[in-house]
Structure 1
Amino acid sequence: MDKKNFLELLDKYLNGTATAAEQQLVEDYYQRLSQQGEVQLPAGEENALEQKMLQHIRRGMQPAPAKPLRTLRRVAGIAASLLLLLAALLFLRKEDVTQPPPVAAKQQRVPDIKPGRNVASLTLADGSEILLDDANNGVLASQGATTVIKSKPGQLIYDEGAATVAAASPVYNTITTPYGGQYQVTLEDGTIVWLNAGSSLTFPTVFTGSERTVRLKGEAYFEVAHNTAMPFKVEARGQTVQVLGTKFNIMAYEDEAGVHTTLLHGAVKVIKGSRSRVLKPGEQSRVSGDDISVQEVDLDAALAWKNGYFVFKNEDIGSIMRKIARWYNVTVQFEGQFGRKTFGGKISRNRDIAEVLKTLELTGSIRFRTEEAAGGKAGKITVMY
């Protein structure tokens, strides 16, 4: 494919007019480019290419007169497309670039802050704590009738095995992920829970009685093992979600305005005080105070974190930065007035923070100043208008 045809195909990709086959061709080609490594350009030439890309993007970013919001032009694949276009332009200019003589490496504009990883701690019934990322795979502890097993990095299993459960008070454990951490745990009944950063789940090591109840802080995705005789309940920030067997996500961070429950499969009942609502797949409840509202949502956006992405859909910068702060373990402060600006895009959570912030800066609306962590403290990001 020559340069002219490839750039025309890129334009169709960004316009949203490419066929499925053309989209796949562009994405496959980008993967090949990504494996080539970076192409070094003189600073002036690199800046010129970035400006060319920004002008290309802005052509599709003109807001409607009645809505003075500046957003990225299209949600699907936007952030990936920005990186794609830059990589392609750099690659296509490679033949014309004369490499400058080696010089001292210039200071990075954005410090190197790495993404989160599989980090968590497990608090046992006796109060002792196990750092799961440091523990070897295999049996970690015995808790009543269950054996706690680290099956592989990032995964914990509670195995009842052939043991019988004696009638006794439940024994509870708590798994906690810090900012910059995530983890997966399989409960004794077969229910699988994925914990997002800055979250904790408290649960009995064996479910007994007429129901299965766990307590959540933060955010988690549940795939509940079906058991008609023992409904599964999740308590989070004053609300209760009741299910038999289903797949759903609960976001219940204390720094968010409300609790969001998103249903993928099955049915759940969201209970707050004397009020309750039943969700259907594709719906999300939002509990704020004593009110429960329900609306249809984009499931890809609601579950992006679990699938390894940030997905922003008409999202304000405050909400975006809270997600970034949890995953990269940074603190955030703001300078300036941001009004009602919203953003959209998608980018992998496996990327360094510099790439995520660069994507947001390409909107032309905001800038960032980043400070690396020192002395065991979190790094800091300043958002500037």
Structure 2
Amino acid sequence: MKRGKKYPTLEDILGSDQQSPGTPIDPALEALAGSVERVIRNAGNEAWDPADKAALWEEIAPGLVPQPARYRYLYLKVAAAILVLLAAGLWYFLPRQNDLLRFARQLPHDQPLTDTRLLVGQHQAVVVKGKNAALVYAGGGTGVTINKDTLSITAATYNTLLVPYGRRARVQLEDGSVVQLNAGSRLVYPAAFKNGKREVYLEGEAFFDIAPNSQSPFFVYASGLVTEVLGTTFNISAYPDDTRQSLVLASGSVRLHVPGHGFSREHSQLLQPADMATVDAKAGGLQMSRVNIATYTAWKDGRLLFFNTPLKDILKKLTRYYNIELDLASTKPGLETCSGDLDLEDNLDNVLEVICATNSLRYERYGQRIVLTEKE
């Protein structure tokens, strides 16, 4: 019995640079694979990890086995449909070096700020006074109202909102979506969304209320996370100095993907309300849990809720909010976790008195540094 042709392997389909010389490849299938490869190249991820290739192959292999001639036409149609859908997914979820990301990643990070600042493009800077800044963009992105003052801008430019420690900000984008930024955060976004794309870049923490638009999904790029939404509310925490990033969904539905980890289920997840997805910055991978939404969103209303939370994590949040360094110098048993509700509109001394009274601690000031120690 004649041995049949050897059909393409995983490497044949997913990258011409891995093909074995002389391997016979069905021309139609080769054309389909070429189309996918072009999408991958355009997505800025030309070099694939072998594990990513294997995960993708597991998804498409069942539809690409050799077929008798009478089924060949149907087989190619099915293969084409599968590859087109995968290509669309690749375009959305691979870590693309698009214009927004290139712009965001070239911005300097070494400028300590005392006031919120809006950067229009790379040259115009506007200082925004006050503890809570409010920005509203006009439709079409031709102007922005900042604390009741209107500024004319160019719609084609990227804007960057820098919120230092001790400040917060609320920005209404030109599509009606609202983003509330926590202390120590930055948001990069276009003055006007163009060509059906709605994309922003976040460092820090923000609560998003996205205006629905089924024709234009909204993408949030953060450290280690890519979030796609159609219209929903959620909180993202992605500070550069944190070892874990998280997303908590308040309403609607989002799909979260960890760039660079292929299509395995542990790295891509559809979330429902009260789901929290957590990513370890070093280990990668998604961890899912069910949470109390208010615990992760109360900050936007001036409150800090915590339940069995490490005291050091609480102090880190207060450091950002009050813009003063808080250190815990105690090894007392029982201080590992705390539960409570703090009013962030209160002055810091009152907040620290509450923490110290419930944990038998005291605090001392050393300039811009406060140290909490055990009571003698």
Could you say which TM-score interval applies, normalised by the shorter chain?
0.5 to 0.7
| Structure 2 alignment gaps of length 5 or more | 1-113
| CA drift at 1:221 | 0.4
1:224 maps to which residue?
210
2:198 maps to which residue?
212
Question: Structure 2 matches for 1:234-253, cutoff 5 A?
Answer: 234-253=220-239
| CA drift at 1:363 | 2.0
2:349 maps to which residue?
354
Query: Quick check: 2:138–2:174 contact (8 Å CA) kept in 1?
Result: no
1:316 maps to which residue?
310
| Structure 1 alignment gaps of length 5 or more | 1-117, 373-378
Question: Structure 2 matches for 1:292-311, cutoff 5 A?
Answer: 292-311=286-305
| CA drift at 1:256 | 2.0
Q: 1:158 to 1:345 in 2, by over 3 A?
A: farther
Q: 1:270 to 1:352 in 2, by over 3 A?
A: same
When normalised by structure 1's length, the TM-score is 0.60
1:125 maps to which residue?
121
| CA drift at 1:157 | 9.8
Query: Quick check: 2:118–2:161 contact (8 Å CA) kept in 1?
Result: yes
Distance 2:134 2:314 in 1: 37
Q: The residue matched to 1:356 in structure 2 has which SS? A: helix
| CA drift at 1:144 | 8.4
2:369 maps to which residue?
380
1:263 maps to which residue?
249
* Cα RMSD after superposing both structures: 3.0
Identity level (%): 30
Distance 1:140 1:130 in 2: 14
1:4-36 CA-partner distances (Å, limit 9, x unpaired): xxxxxxxxxxxxxxxxxxxxxxxxxxxxxxxxx
Distance 1:201 1:158 in 2: 20
Count of residue pairs the alignment pairs up: 250
2:13 maps to which residue?
none
| CA drift at 1:139 | 10
Distance 1:321 1:216 in 2: 23
1:254 maps to which residue?
240
2:358 maps to which residue?
363
Find the structure with the greater CA-based Rg.
2
1:66 maps to which residue?
none
Letter in 2 for 1:361: C
Letter in 2 for 1:300: A
Which range moves more in the overlay, 284-293 or 217-226? 284-293
| CA drift at 1:318 | 1.0
Q: 1:218 to 1:139 in 2, by over 3 A?
A: closer
Distance 1:305 1:139 in 2: 19
| CA drift at 1:347 | 1.8
| CA drift at 1:227 | 0.8
1:292-350 CA-partner distances (Å, limit 9, x unpaired): 01111111111111111011211111100001100110112332325562111112111
**Structure number with higher relative contact order (C-alpha < 8 Å, ≥ 6 residues apart):** 1
1:186-238 CA-partner distances (Å, limit 9, x unpaired): 11111100000000000011111232110000000000011111110101102
Letter in 2 for 1:383: L
Higher helix share: 2
When normalised by structure 2's length, the TM-score is 0.61
| CA drift at 1:158 | 9.5
Question: Structure 2 matches for 1:1-385, cutoff 5 A?
Answer: 119-133=115-129, 145-152=141-148, 170-273=156-259, 274=262, 275-288=267-280, 289-338=283-332, 341-372=336-367, 379-385=368-374
Q: 1:246 to 1:222 in 2, by over 3 A?
A: same
1:77 maps to which residue?
none
